[in-house]
Amino acid sequence: MKNRLLNKPLGVVILVAAVSLVFSPTFANAEIKITPPSNWQANPDNNSTSLIWFQNSTKSVIGVKKAPDFLSFPLFLAGPFVTQFLADKGVLESADQIYFGNSNSGYRYFLNLSSPSKLLDSFSGLPQIGSFLTTIPEGYDVPYKGMLILTQKQGDLYAIIFLSPKENFDSVMKEIQTTLDSIQFN
């Protein structure tokens, strides 16, 4: 019982770190190199540590972000806690470990999201969450499927997230596979 009580605060801290990977600004010296998906619109705020693209025709979003230095946790700690948090929220479809691209590995989560607005409601109170999901046009509040990958290189933690309406998820996922395989963290 005592271990469960200790794990909850640590789990919340690690969850905030994982969500912050995707949604908060970073000021680190690390650099993400990636071949962007063709025919996708780049976020005008993209920089070397935070990259987001949107595909208007499918209402899909892909992003890669470095965690701020103060939120870098070892991947072996962050991965299982994020798994439990997503399961507790009822959005986790499956979780596994993945190897991709340029010697990258990490934890991969597939998520079932009833809609972008419900996702916002689920994580209300966390800073910057709206800045990522606002690339999905208002009024397009349909069931989404998502993929989140947490990975770590040279002590820096990164998140890769892909969101697409459920009906397009598999086909768009195939389309962005070369983009995922091109990711390099320097």
pLDDT, tens digit, for every residue of 17-42? 444 444 444 334 457 888 888 889 99
- CATH number, domain containing residue 159: 3.40.1000.10
Position 173 scores a pLDDT of 94
**Strands (DSSP E) found in 20-176:** 32-33, 41-42, 50-55, 60-66, 92-100, 104-113, 144-153, 156-165
Task: Give the pTM.
Answer: 0.75
Where is pLDDT greater, at 182 or 28?
A: 182
Give the distance between the most distant pair of CA atoms in the chain.
52
Q: Which two tokens stand for residue 18?
A: 């994982």
CA distances from 138 to 54, 62, 98, 133, 148 (A): 14, 18, 33, 10, 22
Position 109 scores a pLDDT of 92
Q: What average pLDDT does the segment 134-162 reach?
A: 78
Summary mean pLDDT of the chain: 74
Q: What domain count does the chain have?
A: 1
Domain that holds residue 52: 2-185
Each residue of 57-100: pLDDT tens digit? 888 889 888 877 766 677 877 788 888 888 887 888 999 999 98
Q: How far apart are CA 182 and CA 127, in angstroms?
A: 29
Which residue is associated with the tokens 């693209």?
Answer: 53
For residue 135, how many other CB atoms are within 10 A of its CB?
19
Q: How far apart are CA 117 and CA 133, in angstroms?
A: 9
Q: Which two tokens stand for residue 185?
A: 């963290």
Q: What are phi and psi of 86, to 5 degrees?
A: -65, -35
Among 76-85, 105-114, 172-181, top mean pLDDT goes to 172-181
| Length of the chain measured in residues | 186
Residue 51 has pLDDT above 80, yes or no: yes
Position 121 scores a pLDDT of 56
- Smallest CA-to-CA distance from 12 within 151, 123, 128 is with 123
